[in-house]
């Protein structure tokens, strides 16, 4: 949909695509930061090497990362998953306090 405003043409569809790209990038950034922070909190709590585990985030999905941590700790996989969820929630709250709520901004 093209709008003609005071001698200018504005493409509403293009503006919406750009907004969607921006929001997606912003949410992916927040999710990544949350995952890193939760992993650091979990590693610190278990006395594991934070830097090494954070480095594994790029190589493993969440399930594989938790499997690795389970191998390095005394927690069962199920207990570890619950503990990680706790720290993920804590990480989210910390990030919201620091960076604001990641909920997408709605138009109109």
Q: Label residues 45-56 b or e (16+ Cβ within 10 Å = b).
A: ebeeeeeebbee
Does residue 69 contact residue 46 with C-beta atoms inside 8 Å? yes
| Residue 108 clears pLDDT 60, i.e. is over it | no
State pLDDT tens for residues 9-65. Answer: 667 777 778 888 888 888 999 999 999 999 999 999 999 999 999 999 999 999 999
In angstroms, the CA 71 to CA 75 distance is 9
Q: Which residues contact 15 (CB under 8 A, 6 or more apart)?
A: none
Q: Chain centroid to CA 89: how far?
A: 11
């Amino acid at each position: 949909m093209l709008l003609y405003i005071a001698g200018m043409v504005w493409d509403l569809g293009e503006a919406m695509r750009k907004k969607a790209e921006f929001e997606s990038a912003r949410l992916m950034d927040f999710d990544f930061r949350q995952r890193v922070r939760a992993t650091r909190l979990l590693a610190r709590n278990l006395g594991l090497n934070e830097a090494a585990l954070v480095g594994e985030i790029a190589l493993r999905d969440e399930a594989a990362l938790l499997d690795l941590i389970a191998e390095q700790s005394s927690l069962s996989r199920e207990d570890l998953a619950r503990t990680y969820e706790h720290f993920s929630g804590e990480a989210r709250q910390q990030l919201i306090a620091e960076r604001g709520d990641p909920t997408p901004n709605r138009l109109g």
